[in-house]
Amino acid sequence: MFPLGRPARTTIAALGALYTGAVLWVTLRPLPWATEGNQEAYGILNLQSWIGWSTWTEGSPLEIVANILMFLPIGLASGLLFRGSVGLLVPIALTLVIELAQIPLADRISHPRDLVANASGAILGLLIAAAVRRRRRAGLSRR
């Protein structure tokens, strides 16, 4: 058990909701400088986009790192608020919904590399949350 007091849980939930709103705004808002996205038809739903060599060899490393860092706080908050598989499902579902929502958007790109980077960031956040929980439990058991 990971006892977080009500004020801490409320604060984490509120900050998590605000941050998630910001992520949704960043990932789904129109980009006035972009004329069109550059993606395979149907984005992440297209099997070819998953098995194509260029999917995994092209792209900016900075973009991948940015996606990982963008989802790390979501994984951290989810790991602190939810137990078990729910903590994993919440951020994974969020990135999946974002990538699916980007498919019909003319100036957005739904890409497997983004989905994997976002999920990786969420998993890193979950691992940090697990370390925080272990450390907190160890501190509480010493009392």
3-state secondary structure of 117: helix
Which residue, among 124, 68, 59, has the nearest Cα to 95 in the 3D structure? 68
Asked, for residue 25, whether it belongs to a domain, the answer is yes
Query: Would you say residue 5 has pLDDT above 70?
Result: yes
Q: What is the pLDDT of residue 55?
A: 85
Query: Would you say residue 1 has pLDDT above 50?
Result: no
Domain limits for position 131: 6-141
pLDDT single digits (tens) 26-78: 999 987 776 566 667 888 998 888 998 888 888 889 999 999 999 999 999 99
The model carries a pTM of 0.86
Contact between 103 and 43 under an 8 Å Cβ cutoff? The reply is: yes
Which residue, among 9, 6, 12, has the nearest Cα to 73 in the 3D structure? 12
Asked, for residue 69, whether it belongs to a domain, the answer is yes
Task: DSSP letter for 25, please.
Answer: H
More confident residue, 13 or 39: 13
Percentage of the chain lying above the pLDDT 70 cut: 91
For residue 120, count CB atoms less than 10 angstroms from its CB and return exposed for 0-12, middle for 13-18, buried for 19 or more: middle
Average pLDDT over residues 119-135: 95
Which residue, among 115, 91, 90, has the nearest Cα to 102 in the 3D structure? 115
**Rounded CA gap, 87 and 116, in Å?**
17
Q: What is the pLDDT of residue 50?
A: 92
Asked, for residue 57, whether it belongs to a domain, the answer is yes
**Rounded CA gap, 21 and 92, in Å?**
16
pLDDT single digits (tens) 96-117: 999 999 999 888 889 999 999 9
Asked, for residue 1, whether it belongs to a domain, the answer is no
Number of domains into which the chain is organized = 1
Query: Would you say residue 2 has pLDDT above 60?
Result: no
Q: What is the pLDDT of residue 93?
A: 97
